[in-house]
Amino acid sequence: MFNRVRDSLVYPKEILKYRKDKALFVIFYIIFFAILLSTRTIIDVAKYDGLSNSYKAAVEENMTVVTKDCEIQSANLVCDGDYLIKLYEEPLFVVYLDSHSTINFDRYQSDKYTLIIHDDSVYFYFFGMNTMNFPIDELPRELQNIDFNNQVNNSSLFYNNLFSGLDSLILGYKDIWGTMMITIEIFISIAFYMIFTLISSWFLKMRYKVIPFKETFALTTYSSTSLFIILTFYSMLDLDVIIVIILLVISFRQSGIMNQEIERRLKKNS
């Protein structure tokens, strides 16, 4: 693999000697760079150690101040009446406190991911479907006892306990959601590179009809190495757009050199 990377970057004409590589090896080559493209997500998941201070500040600013006499006590929501309180909302999800005697999903928004705290359970209501629920006593200790009066009376204590519990909850499931995020990111990267390479291979095949598609697929994949590397560094380092454009020009120039070599060999053999 090293030779193919080296030749695609330094000696574009030499790419042609790899045109008969097995399709599985070429696909593996694409997968390798797709994983590299996902490095930023892998690093972010590995380094994640809880909610950021800026996010915590935003939550504190936008959370509804509960004026009703409600609290979560010994893993149960207890209120002095029947209330439906929208505790917090973001573009993708919303959190409710529901102290009615029975839960009625018609009360909630169906166009978002909805979390409902009711009695001794937390319910997940996703786009019109009650998908799952679990007891509050399975949450971190800080989330099993929350006095909403402290939002005003002792806000620092209230939010410190809240965020400590949320961090414990999120980090406790990090292996699950982290693996899912990385897997999805890699799958998207593979799909993006495969579609790009197949389309480029088809155009190369249309230009040089005598070359089998399997070979144009290999040639296009290897000639795209510099582009794969540019996108990897761009995702990891947030390179300036001007630098990216310059690198792309260099990348396309190398593809042009390979095409010139193809034409030279075809003329030689004609």
For residue 124, the model assigns a pLDDT of 85
Q: In the predicted model, what is the mean pLDDT of residues 126-131?
A: 70
User: pLDDT tens, 38-63?
Assistant: 998 999 999 999 999 999 999 998 99
Q: Tokens 């939010």 sit at which residue? A: 159
Q: How many CB atoms lie within 10 A of CB 220?
A: 23
| Sign of the dihedral through C-alpha 48, 188, 22, 211 | negative
* pTM score, whole prediction: 0.77
pLDDT at 33 over 90: yes
User: pLDDT tens, 173-210?
Assistant: 899 989 999 999 999 999 999 998 999 889 888 888 88
- What is the domain partition of the chain in residue ranges? 2-43+178-269, 53-175
> How far apart are alpha carbons 144 and 74 in whole angstroms?
6
The residue ranking higher by pLDDT, 144 or 107, is 144
pLDDT at 144 over 90: yes
Tokens of 174: 């990090």
The angle formed by the CA atoms of residues 151, 153 and 158, to the nearest 5 degrees, is 40
